């Protein structure tokens, strides 16, 4: 039996497909960016048809790159940008509107209204989430209320809701399967993470018809097979997880207390709490880390909306660099005597502040400040925000013990950034050999379900570290820098 696994990693700015060999090395890949739409301030959309086209292109490119055919692939694993919401016609598969992206803030007013009415406590108890535009539930309501005829058609069972994973499963299987996994379901504001089912009271609260919803499966499960004509042969889809959950798996954070942080468009820190459903007192999220063989593992998560996106802004908006990778070397040339702070609240602030109305700011500029100081502030901001998340996690879950942070995502290739992260956390930071941990996690789910990859224990033992960054900064210097960051955040929240 073939042991090659194909991972589809459908992200916020691009789609990547990676073929993993039996030894978990990368045999071939394909990647394609797609258009970001910003119809109004705080609104972010994607064209679902463009996303689907990028997936087909990336898969075909990955197979060609690996010099393999669809018949050589044992299974597909899918991982996706979470919370991004779309509704499509069950008869045609055509979306009724652009996808509303997780970063989108258009439902901030509705969330505020629900909070004011006293609903956040019960929502948080059932879902582990907060009433914030980040999540899918209010996005669904917006689509039903604003697309002509949508609500009536949804109630008649003519429409289907899904996060990106569900839409891809639908398209890949030719409309035969409408399903999601427990991790993606747990990010909708509609799923009870304790009972592991869609919650009728929450559906009623957000006015979402049950007829819209997909079936919820384990992360390693049978999600149908692809249409043979797509890639030349039918391939089973056997693994699905939201991107941060897949990265947690790819980093082999299977034991309670293990912690990972992914640095992509945003930054997401996830702490495995095992069977312990920890309810945060510090405005973190309680979420399903993964569900395997019917057993749910929980996690605490801190979500930062802007990480790599700040570097993209420096490249595309300010045009200070031509390529993102130039930001680190530019930061190295910054004047160390300047104390410039960037609070990258371009689409609001996530955990632990949850201020949808906050907007980005730069503090401490002088006549001598220039591109290097701004680049440095952007990279440092990611590290400061990570520290805020970890401090909240330590307060919420005392059983966590000593922190060693496993990192992944595009930004971790920068040694300078990772060293500053270790310094400001005052904790070791481990960078793995395989940086494509999100895709690797999806691949493991599919490979495990297919019976061609090892179980969690053996997979965890194969995790390999590329480099460990140990903290070197003096305690007094760390304290001074953190104090300046805290002041910058407070000023941003008050502005």
At residue 146, the pLDDT reads: 96
Dihedral (Cα; 192, 195, 197, 201), 10-degree rounding: -50
At residue 356, the pLDDT reads: 73
Written as one string, the DSSP assignment of 436-467 is -HHHHHHHHHHHHHHTSS--HHHHHHT--EEE
Distances, alpha carbon 146 to alpha carbons 91, 106, 109, 142, 164, in Å: 21, 12, 15, 6, 20
Q: Given strand 85-89, what is the order of strands in its sheet?
A: 45-46, 99-100, 85-89, 159-163
Kindly report the pTM of this predicted structure: 0.86
Distances, alpha carbon 45 to alpha carbons 39, 48, 255, in Å: 8, 9, 36
Please identify which residue in the block is written with the tokens 């999806």.
442
Residues 6 or more apart whose CB falls under 8 angstroms from that of 23 comprise none
Query: pLDDT digit of tens for each residue in the chain (495 aa)?
Result: 678 999 999 998 899 999 999 988 899 999 999 999 999 988 999 999 999 999 999 999 999 999 999 999 999 999 999 999 999 999 999 999 999 999 898 999 999 999 999 999 999 999 999 898 989 999 999 999 999 999 999 999 999 999 999 999 999 999 999 999 999 999 999 999 999 999 999 999 999 999 999 999 999 999 999 999 999 999 999 999 999 999 999 999 998 989 999 887 788 899 999 998 998 888 889 999 999 999 999 999 988 878 778 888 888 888 888 887 778 888 889 888 999 999 988 878 877 887 877 888 999 999 989 988 998 998 999 899 999 888 888 888 876 556 789 998 878 888 888 999 999 999 999 999 888 899 999 999 999 999 999 999 999 988 889 999 999 999 999 999 999 999 999 898 876
Please provide the distance, in angstroms rounded to a whole number, between the alpha carbons at the two ends of the chain: 61
Query: Are 254 and 274 in contact, with CB atoms under 8 Å apart?
Result: no
At residue 195, the pLDDT reads: 94
The continuous run of DSSP H or E covering 291 comes out as: strand 285-292
Query: Are 410 and 308 in contact, with CB atoms under 8 Å apart?
Result: yes
């Amino acid at each position: 039996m073939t042991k090659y696994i194909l991972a589809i990693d459908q992200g916020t700015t691009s789609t990547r497909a990676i073929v993993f060999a039996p030894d978990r090395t990368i045999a071939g890949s394909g990647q394609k960016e797609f258009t970001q739409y910003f119809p109004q301030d705080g609104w972010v959309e994607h064209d679902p048809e463009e996303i689907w086209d990028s997936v087909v292109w990336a898969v075909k490119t990955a197979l060609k790159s690996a010099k393999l055919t669809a018949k050589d692939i044992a299974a597909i694993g899918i991982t996706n940008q979470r919370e991004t919401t779309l509704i499509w016609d069950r008869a045609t598969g055509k979306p009724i509107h652009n996808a509303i992206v997780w970063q989108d803030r258009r439902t901030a007013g509705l969330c505020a209204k629900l909070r004011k009415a006293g609903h956040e406590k019960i929502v948080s108890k059932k879902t582990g989430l907060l009433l914030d535009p980040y999540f899918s539930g209010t996005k669904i309501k917006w689509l039903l209320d604003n697309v002509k005829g949508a609500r009536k058609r949804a109630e008649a069972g003519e429409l289907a809701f899904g996060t990106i994973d569900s839409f891809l499963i639908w398209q890949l299987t030719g409309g035969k399967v409408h399903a999601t996994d427990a991790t993606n379901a747990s990010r909708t504001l509609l799923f009870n993470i304790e009972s592991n089912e869609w919650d009728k009271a929450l559906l009623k609260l957000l006015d979402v018809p049950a007829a819209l919803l997909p079936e919820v499966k384990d992360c390693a499960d049978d999600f149908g097979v692809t249409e043979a004509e797509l890639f030349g042969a039918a391939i089973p889809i056997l693994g699905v997880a939201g991107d941060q959950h897949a990265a947690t798996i790819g980093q082999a954070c299977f034991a309670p207390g293990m912690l990972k942080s992914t640095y992509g468009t945003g930054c997401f820190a996830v702490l495995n709490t095992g069977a312990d459903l920890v309810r945060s007192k510090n405005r973190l999220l309680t979420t399903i880390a993964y569900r395997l063989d019917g057993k749910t593992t929980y996690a605490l998560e801190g979500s930062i909306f802007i990480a790599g996106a700040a570097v993209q802004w420096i490249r595309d908006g300010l045009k200070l660099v031509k390529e993102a990778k130039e930001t680190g070397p530019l930061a190295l040339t910054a004047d160390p005597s300047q104390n410039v702070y960037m609070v990258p609240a371009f689409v609001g602030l996530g955990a632990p502040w949850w201020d949808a109305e906050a907007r980005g700011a730069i503090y401490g500029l002088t006549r001598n400040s220039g591109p290097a100081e701004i680049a440095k502030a952007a990279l440092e901001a990611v590290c400061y925000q990570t520290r805020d998340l970890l401090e909240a996690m330590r307060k919420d879950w005392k059983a966590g013990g000593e922190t060693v942070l496993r990192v992944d995502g595009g930004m971790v290739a920068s040694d300078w950034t990772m060293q500053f992260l270790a310094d400001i956390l005052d904790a070791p930071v481990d960078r793995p050999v395989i940086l494509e941990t999100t895709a690797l996690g999806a691949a493991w789910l599919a490979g495990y379900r297919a019976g061609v990859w090892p179980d969690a224990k053996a997979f965890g033992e194969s995790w390999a570290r590329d480099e460990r960054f140990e903290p070197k900064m003096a305690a007094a210097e760390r304290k001074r820098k953190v104090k300046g960051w805290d002041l910058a955040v407070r000023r941003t929240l008050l502005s």
